[in-house]
Structure 1
């Protein structure tokens, strides 16, 4: 039965309304990105801390006490990172800047001639390392470090300073309120869902939360553990830039093979430039070999498991696309959106495999565990009659 023209027009207008609503939401997100950034960060921190608050509540503590304990622990971790990690990274970068002449000499005198000899290409004509290294070094020395560079950039804009200070001041306040009222917010959102779709929406929301939580919590712990392991291992080998290389390799661990590959390349180059001895190169390879064994057989199975469902290529694309469209806010929202999209795609695949389009008009019904096809009654009666006749014939022949 064909639809009336008025029904087609109404359907088109509804689709047009939803499209306009989606475009308007994206435009509003793009315009309000600087304002929404602290709210998104605080919401993610509140979502990550809510399970710990619920655990403390189950032990008999009140919601406010549990929120205060979790919030205090999170603040302590942030302070420790700022106090310990930031000065350490700045010292490592300063060491790298001081060592740039040695790296330049090694590349121009050893690495590039070796590559040219084996590849047959004149690489030195296309790459002016002297100019690049001197440019980086002069800019770094003029800026005086990471902190001075950042402050110098911000000092050129009073509004940027005010916005940064406001966001930093708002972040702990918003995080505390999100932690305290997270369950209330979830209940209010659930109350707006149509009752007929509440079960499906709850299932999809739980799966999205499990996927994103497993990725963020598990992968963050793996990155942290490997970064510490690589950094301390390379430092024990004797590399001046070992901690910086270990941090870079740990941060890139969320992409399979990219983290250890980049760490090995940087570590081998640092060992050759600093010592020129293959003994230290073997030490670098041993550090990353032990790290890969620990990651493959203990860290990833224990901390991440098989609950992720997010392919590394999808993660990279989501982060890059979000950053291109909405800046830093888009990078923050990339992983949650990718997790939800992944769950929705699995749900769509599930619905498709149960649809008539996939199964056809006459699907074969199988019985489990025997896996015996159900034969229609019309076909079963002749088969039963034939079996009875064969049994009678066999009995008469026996007699």
Structure 2
């Protein structure tokens, strides 16, 4: 059975979920408090992205089922049991494929989060967990597999494959703005045209003579991203955005929305971020990028992160500006995105006198 399979929750799990945020046991319930419980639960659901919450739910379901198949229970947290679970993920006893170290680490984070929602604490530093995880990392850790960066000549070739109908104008704006802004998929589709315009907005765009200012409520908190105008209308992200907004007649609400089947009219529904992943893969194939590789390998090379990696790898400016633009907390994180950079520019060997 695959690790992504969703398992039905047991009655015990559902009861634990219901009790995660509730009126204190010593306080008499009331209509007002019950409404506040629902409000608090709604806020709790927004404490992480929907994709993260779905992954954490799958992590808990998998661990719960694994525990019960072995005659035990996932509650309360047992460091000894979780240490055995991690070992089984790295070296499955049923012949299934072993998980990567990063996935195992994420599973552990998912379990910690789920226990916290139930008012319980999982001590990740307990020797039964920490030493097993350290051994797994030492034995199985590999350099991260990174998606290939989309370079300037790539993005130009990709947008050239798009038609100039309404849908093509939208997709051209998505690719160019995502590239120039170094944006995540979720950041692109969550943009609105005006501040605080819709409840599901995670940011907004303001247009100026010199460019566009994006205010984003992103993974690392609020940040501003300045996207200046390009050297020509053909490749300018701000011009592409203006063209889409004009012909789609969008002056409020979500910027990137679905269109009718004939592509002649913009609808009100916000695009899902999966559209961007599909768009990147389609235009990569249509543009003929990396023709020396089989199609399956070409598709596997690129994802939404290829846009961020492309900007980080291609922008010929001080690294600090790239770090700020991408919203990274450290220069080291920015360097992970730089697939192509000026290595050995600082020669410490000669500076040390050798």
Regarding TM over 0.5, the answer is no
Work out which of the two has the higher radius of gyration on C-alpha atoms and give 1 or 2.
1
TM-score, normalization by structure 1: 0.23
Going by fraction, where is strand more abundant, 1 or 2?
2
Going by fraction, where is helix more abundant, 1 or 2?
1
